[in-house]
Amino acid sequence: MLPDLELKTFLEEKYLRYNNDAFIAPDPISIPHRFTVKEDIEISAFFVATIAWGRRDVIIRNGKKLMKLMGESPYDFVMNSCTKFNHFKHRTFNEIDTNNFVACIKNIYLTHNGLEGLFNKLIKENHGDIQATISDFKRIFFSIPHDARTTKHISDPSKGSSAKRINMFLRWMVRQDNHGVDFGIWNQISPSVLHMPLDVHTGRVARRLGLLERKQDDWKAVAELTASLRVFDPSDPVKYDFALFGLGIDEKF
């Protein structure tokens, strides 16, 4: 299948328009950009990606609040603090979920060589299959005692979920875009295996551009859209997330 060169040019132009420093401030990725230590970046990114639904300004405000409650040192807080959250809420993600996440993340750093180490291992075991990797990650993440209510905050694509927030987190960690937005601090995972963080905005734009036929925003749609975008750039298909998101949010395409 050869790419539609006119559509490829259009997507490349929009990608370059939005994949730059100006994208950071109004986006949840601005929270991990406040840190320089690798573990602080990935833990703050994981928390913020987890609560990344709803209005972006509210996500950012609550992300800042959460980092303040962690003393602006998320890795040290996760590994060493005995403090429990008595109040934190972003939509349905509350203090119970926050405390469960702290315990589960600490376990991953203690027993699985951290978030990067675990994802590296699972990607290799699953031969680059992101769907299986995310599903396995959820199983391991909740392998220690936790409240049942918290499991809904990590999606399982093997059950059909689009897993938008985990896919976005992986984009942040893996892509080395040289434009200062995505971090690219996990260099053992190829950007070529990443999948699109599909939401209502990117899905709507993708369908209008003929990149996606499936009507539901589920994992089958994620796989279809990612396959369409790989035609344009097999090595880095999710870079077009910037184009589709910008077209949907800023340009009301």
Residue 108 to residue 101: CA distance in whole angstroms? 10
Residue 192 to residue 220: CA distance in whole angstroms? 18
DSSP 163: -
Confidence band, pLDDT 50/70/90 cuts, at residue 155: very high
The gap between the terminal CA atoms of the chain, to the nearest Å, is 26
- Asked if 172 and 49 touch (Cβ cutoff 8 Å), the reply is yes
Domain positions in the chain: 5-249
pTM: 0.96
Give CA 169 to chain center in angstroms: 2
What does the pLDDT look like over 180-227, one tens digit per residue? 999 999 999 999 999 999 999 999 999 999 999 999 999 999 999 999
**Sequence-ordered alpha helix ranges (H) in 51-113:** 56-69, 74-80, 95-111
Token pair belonging to 40: 């602080």
Tell me what pLDDT residue 2 has: 52
- Asked if 218 and 162 touch (Cβ cutoff 8 Å), the reply is yes
Instruction: Give 231's strand partners.
Output: none
